[in-house]
């Protein structure tokens, strides 16, 4: 989230000060200039003068007229209807559907129709993982959110897709000014967005992705899967494995892991304990571990999206679920199942990529924190449990 504050400074040069001082001395009366003063008084008596009240009234009327003219000109100049990186584009909130007690699915459409949005979206989808900035107008601050791709589970019609609808999975952060503002909006409200911002370009030579997602970090995982698997051909069948850690069962209800694993293989510590210190409540025995829920249960929105991708690209996408409230956390052994170091250097045609997305603490625990340098956010050195696995042959990127 980035915010900016501008300030205006009034400067007065020394030359101006000297000029002011000179003018002040000229208004000092002396006995020798009394005749001159009386002459000036006599002349001024014959010159029409404007009272301060009249002068201020004229200034006020001119200001009102100028403001009205400016407002009219702005009203006649349409805002950019096409999403772009330079200006904020108005979107309209179509719906806000609860996914869990703390998160919702937002569906938006451009306020003004533009055929250019299709090209903007398609270029971003082809490139990789991308986001847009939402503006909180009262505080003039912004926050980046990741659009969800269109899948077979998407309820959008063809016309809605052509009109540039976008969907977002957003959690209401009790300390997040933008997310709290968005969750107060009703359908029909305007939302200003700017973008797209490419968060990670997925190289054309990428053949395998391991995506480690925490919470709403699953949205970029869906994007990565969508972008990568769309490159499928007879000669190229890329694969993606998603490891998703959620705090609440409501976010991933109905999700069943694709990788069989014994309860002992799961970590006994959450990323919270690894980031903020040890937590005895995170300890779990084999008998206390809760297994995956039945597939007969109604699936949550995100699980339906993941299952739709799996149906569209059979054998190319697998998903494993971990749940904080059931004391099942991502551990080193879980990642080691997929991060197997290779002795030979990977060539460009078999490149492997690890992507990590989620809250800052989650990213830091998994791969080390990102860093700021000279006003720019950088990847920072690889650390965390991924570093401990020595992922030779894998490129790692923190979102």
DSSP 93-162: EEEEEEEETTEEEEEEEESS--THHHHHHHHHHHHEEEEEEEEETTTTEEEEEPBPPP-TT----HHHHH
Q: Please classify residue 346 by burial: count the beta carbons closer than 10 Å to its beta carbon, then call 0-12 exposed, 13-18 middle and 19+ buried.
A: middle
Q: What are phi and psi of 246, to 5 degrees?
A: -120, 155
d(CA 162, CA 201): 25
- Residues whose CB is less than 8 angstroms from the CB of residue 203 and which lie 6 or more positions away in sequence, other chains included: 351, 353
Determine whether the annotation assigns residue 212 to a binding site. Answer: no
Determine whether the annotation assigns residue 143 to a binding site. Answer: yes
Contact 227, 125 (CB under 8 A): yes
- Residues whose CB is less than 8 angstroms from the CB of residue 220 and which lie 6 or more positions away in sequence, other chains included: 129, 146, 199, 200, 211, 213, 355, 357, 399
**Hey, which residues does 128 pair with through a beta bridge?**
201
**Hey, which residues does 168 pair with through a beta bridge?**
106, 147
Peptide bond into 196 cis (omega under 30): yes
Tell me how many degrees the CA angle 45-48-52 measures, rounded to the nearest 5.
Answer: 105
- Residues whose CB is less than 8 angstroms from the CB of residue 293 and which lie 6 or more positions away in sequence, other chains included: 249, 253, 254, 255, 256
DSSP 74-88: HHHSPPP-S--SSS-
Contact 358, 245 (CB under 8 A): yes
Determine whether the annotation assigns residue 178 to a binding site. Answer: yes
Determine whether the annotation assigns residue 283 to a binding site. Answer: no
Contact 232, 316 (CB under 8 A): yes
Residues making up the binding site: 143, 145, 178-179
Residues making up the binding site for FAD: 143, 145, 178-179
């Amino acid at each position: 989230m980035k915010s900016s504050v501008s300030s205006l400074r009034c400067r007065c040069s020394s030359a101006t000060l000297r000029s002011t001082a000179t003018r002040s001395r000229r208004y000092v009366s002396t006995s020798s200039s009394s005749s001159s003063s009386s002459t000036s008084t006599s002349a001024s008596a014959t010159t029409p003068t404007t009272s301060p009240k009249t002068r201020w009234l004229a200034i006020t009327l001119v200001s009102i007229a100028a403001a009205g003219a400016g407002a009219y000109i702005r009203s006649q100049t349409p805002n950019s209807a096409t999403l772009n990186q330079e200006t904020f584009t108005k979107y309209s909130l179509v719906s806000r559907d609860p996914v869990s007690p703390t998160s919702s699915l937002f569906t938006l459409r451009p306020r003004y129709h533009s055929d250019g949005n299709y090209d903007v979206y398609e270029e971003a989808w082809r490139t990789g993982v991308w986001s847009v900035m939402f503006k909180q107008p009262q505080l003039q601050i912004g926050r980046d959110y990741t659009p969800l791709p269109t899948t077979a589970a998407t309820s959008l019609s063809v016309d809605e897709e052509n009109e540039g609808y976008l969907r977002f999975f957003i959690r209401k952060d009790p300390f997040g000014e933008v997310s709290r503002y968005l969750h107060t909006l009703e359908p029909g409200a305007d939302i200003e967005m700017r973008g797209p911002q490419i968060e990670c370009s997925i190289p054309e030579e990428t053949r395998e992705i391991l995506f480690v997602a925490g919470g709403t970090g699953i949205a970029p995982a869906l994007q990565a899967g969508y972008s990568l698997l769309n490159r499928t051909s007879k000669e190229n069948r890329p694969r993606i494995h998603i490891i998703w850690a959620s705090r609440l069962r409501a976010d991933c209800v109905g999700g069943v892991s694709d990788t069989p694993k014994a309860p002992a293989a799961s970590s006994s510590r959450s990323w919270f304990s690894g980031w903020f210190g040890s937590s005895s409540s995170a300890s779990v025995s084999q008998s206390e571990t809760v297994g995956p829920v039945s597939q007969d249960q109604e699936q949550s929105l995100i699980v339906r999206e993941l299952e739709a991708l799996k149906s569209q690209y059979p054998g190319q996408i697998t998903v494993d679920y971990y749940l904080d409230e059931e004391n099942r956390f991502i551990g080193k052994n879980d990642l080691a199942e997929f991060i197997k170091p290779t002795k030979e250097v990977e060539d460009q045609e078999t490149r492997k990529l690890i992507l990590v997305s989620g809250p800052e603490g989650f990213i830091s625990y998994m791969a080390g924190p990102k860093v700021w340098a000279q006003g720019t956010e950088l990847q920072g050195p690889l650390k965390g449990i991924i570093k401990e696995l020595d992922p030779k042959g894998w490129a790692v990127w923190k979102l």
